[in-house]
Amino acid sequence: MNARCVALAFGIIASSVTDRADAQADRPVFVTVVGHGAIRFRLAVGGVAPCDSGYNRMLFDGRLEPGRYAFATGANVVCYQHTAGALREVDWSASQVVPTLTGSRFRRWPTEITVSTD
């Protein structure tokens, strides 16, 4: 009976560790675009600015309309840039490097990035 309990406990622990590892693998980042019209947006895996640096891996480089988007990053940090205002093709913001999880060590949640088209 004791060996069965130990085997059961080990199985529960092993499956919970696997679940946490799978949950961490995606490391989603949510991007909300507010305002009017489309902007250009870059999202890269890596902690180096500018986002299009060769040290980063580009995940997305394209146009986004106002709305909410989810990107599975699989990384600890990402870099993002966006355009806004009248020069939406060429007027890039400064690169921002952010962690993919925010919060405390007891409670963490995915990073939310909000950018304006204005």
Domain 27-116 has CATH 1.10.1740: no
Note the pLDDT of residue 21.
46
Mean pLDDT, consecutive 10-residue segments, the chain of 118 residues? 52 45 72 96 96 96 97 96 91 95 84 94
Note the pLDDT of residue 22.
46
C-beta separation of 45 from 53 below 8 A: no
Note the pLDDT of residue 16.
42
Whose tokens are 């040290």? That residue is 55
